[in-house]
Amino acid sequence: MFKGFSSVWTPVLRVNQIKRRPVAVHLAGERLVLFRGQDGMVGALLDRCPHRGAALSQGRVTSEGHIECPFHGWQFDRRGNACYVPLNPDAKLSLLSARALPVREIGDLVWVYTSPTSQDIPEPIVPDGLVNPDLSRTYVQRLWRCHWTRAMENMLDSPHLPFVHRRTIGKQLRTRMTPSSRMEITWEDTPYGGRAEARMDGQEGGAILEYFKPNIMVLNIPVPGKYLRIHALVVPEQSGHTHLIICQSRNFARWKVWDPIFYWMNKRIADEDKNVVESGGVAEVPPAATECSVSSDRATLQFRKYYYEELRASGD
């Protein structure tokens, strides 16, 4: 289960995308159903009824906040406990549970832990820009036809900026770049992942990338006296499908009227990446030695190391 992406926390959707109706999502090859219980909290169950395997997401949520299977009407609460089995008053409910996953609502996002255990799991490590109450946030959600590891690497990759984003966020680099320019990437391991800084021709003050394992990149954009960060949350759905959630956080231009402008800008940047990343096909990133790499690939190679040494073998 959750092969190659097991026992990790990941955002899956925005909190306001889950109301009382069941919502089906794919996550790392599994299908989940998300819904709100009577207490308003989100539950995440495998979208497979333990009775005969029907998709719970095709059922309904009852007035008690239970999800009712569309096939024989069994009901489960948001923790997966069977609450009602029609026509079988003697059924041992404690033996008939659906499989629930740990779930948290943090900031604007719903996070799911990719293992149906709740024993001794760590809490999610959430970047400040996703929860800081003094910031405005604008979200963009896109579907990319690629393996999530290609999308994740793209987010950690600085040398593509003056090419893919030559008209947007890479414009400055493009202008300064000469035929003999050199980009140096420093990488520092952190308790949650890593921190990369890219310098072209020794010039300081560029953007700083932070990597939060397994699938979040935070870009700190230096604007004097201001807080501006772009978060890329790279969510594996199923083979060849990656759900990208981009969140821009800022402490300026906070009026709602700015939202569509930032939305448009972030969507444009994400779509510039989409074309290039999708052109590489839907396979996962290969082992480092299989592709040619150079020193400005430092950050992406760090991700590849983590993926191959820790994450890829996880799950069953």
Cβ–Cβ under 8 Å, residues 28 and 307: no
Residues 71-90 that bind ligand FES (CB under 6 A): 71-72, 74
Q: Are 24 and 57 in contact (CB under 8 A)?
A: yes
| Site track 33-62 with ligand FES (rule: CB under 6 A), x = hit | ----------------x-xx-x--------
User: In the stretch 68-107, what mask flags binding to Fe ion with x, by CB under 5 A?
Assistant: ----------------------------------------
CB of residue 72 vs ligand FES: minimum separation in angstroms? 3
CB of 112 to ligand FES, least distance (A): 22
Look at residue 273 and give the partner it binds from ligand FES, Fe ion, none, a contact being a CB closer than 5 to 8 Å depending on partner kind: Fe ion
Task: For Cα atoms 86, 92, 97, give the angle at the middle one, nearest 5 degrees.
Answer: 80
DSSP, collapsed to helix, strand or coil, labels residue 43 as strand
Count of residues engaged in binding ligand FES, rule: CB under 6 A: 8
- The verdict on 273 binding Fe ion (CB under 5 A) reads yes
Q: Which is nearer to Fe ion, 42 or 219 (CB)?
A: 219
For Fe ion, give the closer residue by CB, 210 or 273.
273
Residue 278 host element (H or E): helix 259-278
DSSP letter at 264 equals H
In 37-81, the DSSP E strands lie at 42-46, 60-61, 67-68, 75-76
Q: Which does 83 bind (CB under 5 to 8 A by kind): Fe ion, ligand FES, none?
A: none
Measured CA to CA, the distance from residue 166 to residue 103 in angstroms comes to: 39
E-strand ranges in the chain read: 9-14, 23-27, 30-36, 42-46, 60-61, 67-68, 75-76, 82-84, 100-101, 103-106, 109-113, 136-144, 183-190, 193-200, 208-212, 216-220, 228-238, 241-250
- Contact pattern for ligand FES over residues 193 through 232, marking x by CB under 6 A: ----------------------------------------
Q: Kindly tell me which of 85 and 151 has the beta carbon lying closer to ligand FES.
A: 85
Angstrom distance (rounded) from CA 38 to CA 52: 26
Q: How far is the CB of 300 from ligand FES (least distance, A)?
A: 44
Residues that bind Fe ion (CB under 5 A): 273
By CB under 6 A, name the binding residues for ligand FES: 49, 51-52, 54, 69, 71-72, 74
